Every structure is written in C-alpha cells, then in structure tokens.
Amino acid sequence: MDTRIEALLEAMKKLEQEVLEEIEKKEAEFYYRVVGRKVRFEAEVKKQHRALMQRVSRYLSEAPLLTILTVPFIWFILIPALFLDLSVTVFQAVCFRVYGIPRVKRRRYIVVDRQSLAYLNLIEKLNCMYCGYVNGLIAYVREIGGRTEQYWCPIKHARRIASMHSRYGKFLEYGDAESYRNRLEEIRRDFRDLEGK
C-alpha cells in the first residue's frame, strides 16, 4: 500500500482514538460512569434529570402535525431493519467461517443505552432506542460488507466515494492488474489488525 495513504489512515485512527478519549472525559463532566454495560449517574444528577423531563402530553401537543404524520413511515423501516439484521448475522455466521474472516461483534456496533436517561419521556426513549438500533445496525452491516469486499473484491474505486469503510485502506489500486493477481490471496487473509477486537 502507498506509504502516504498508510500514514493518513494511521492519522485517522489516532484522531478517532482522541475523539473517544474526549468522550470519556465527559463522564466526569456530566457525573456518570460506565460499569460493564450499564451507565450510572450520581443520585443528585438523576434527580435533576427527572425534573427536566417533558411530559408526553406536552411533548405531543408541541410537536408539529406533519412530524406526527411521518411517524408510521419511520417505524415501518424497523421491519426491513430487523430482517436485515437477521440476514447479515446468519450470512457472516456461515460465510465468514468458510472464508476465514473474523466475525463482526454485533454488540460493538449496536448500542442501545439512551433509554436510561431520566430526562427523556417515554416517546423520546423509544425514539432513542430506535435510532441507536438502526444506526448501529447500519454500521454493523457496513463492517460486514467491508470485510466481505476485502475477501471478494479488494480493489479501490476509480471514482471518489463519499466515505470509506474500515477495510478500504487495505485494497489494491484501481487498474493495478499485476498486484491484483500477485497479492489477492494475501489481501484476502490480511485481518491481523482485528486480532483481539
């Protein structure tokens, strides 16, 4: 791989790590800590949060009518999302074992934890659960897709793409036929960076 691209990808990883460290600093600022998979707020903070919760009746009365009318369209997406979740989970359980690709850990991508916030009413909690699930699912599917693409077609695109998945940096250059023929099996097996994740 081009050393300049490698350096840029490494810089991106470092920046992502810095962002995660900054997020962790917020734990102290907003008086919570993560214990296992649970988020714990200090008692006084929880009390303040409850005082800021908006009642469902007020929440609904202040919502624009057109927003309320779009709710069925939003929640309908849950049906294909659940099917997609099941499909890609079964796909990787079967195919990744055959291909020798490390499986994607679903729990690292689908994080549903905002329903524990005491300042959210029931509707807001349901909406946050939905968004955490659907956006996490999309990230989970993207990672499965990226690993599958690395195995089957690890070639960069000629045209610019909007964003790269995590495996794209390992791909071969578009038009580099010699590298494709000589390095395809090596690239297909290069998941060392995932060890321990």
For the entire predicted model, the pTM comes to 0.83
Q: Which helix (H) or strand (E) holds 142?
A: helix 122-152
| Strand segments (E) across the chain | 32-35, 38-41
Distance of CA 190 to the CA centre of its chain: 22
DSSP for 167-179, please give it.
TGGGSBPTT-HHH
Give the CA-trace dihedral at 86, 87, 89, 93, to 10 degrees: 130
| Single-letter amino acid, residue 44 | E
**Sorting pLDDT into bands at 50, 70 and 90, what band is 80?**
very high
89 pLDDT more than 60: yes
pLDDT digits (tens, 9 = 90+) for 122-181: 999 999 999 999 999 999 999 999 999 999 999 999 999 998 898 998 999 999 999 999
3-class state of residue 35 by DSSP: strand
- For residue 27, pLDDT beyond 70: no
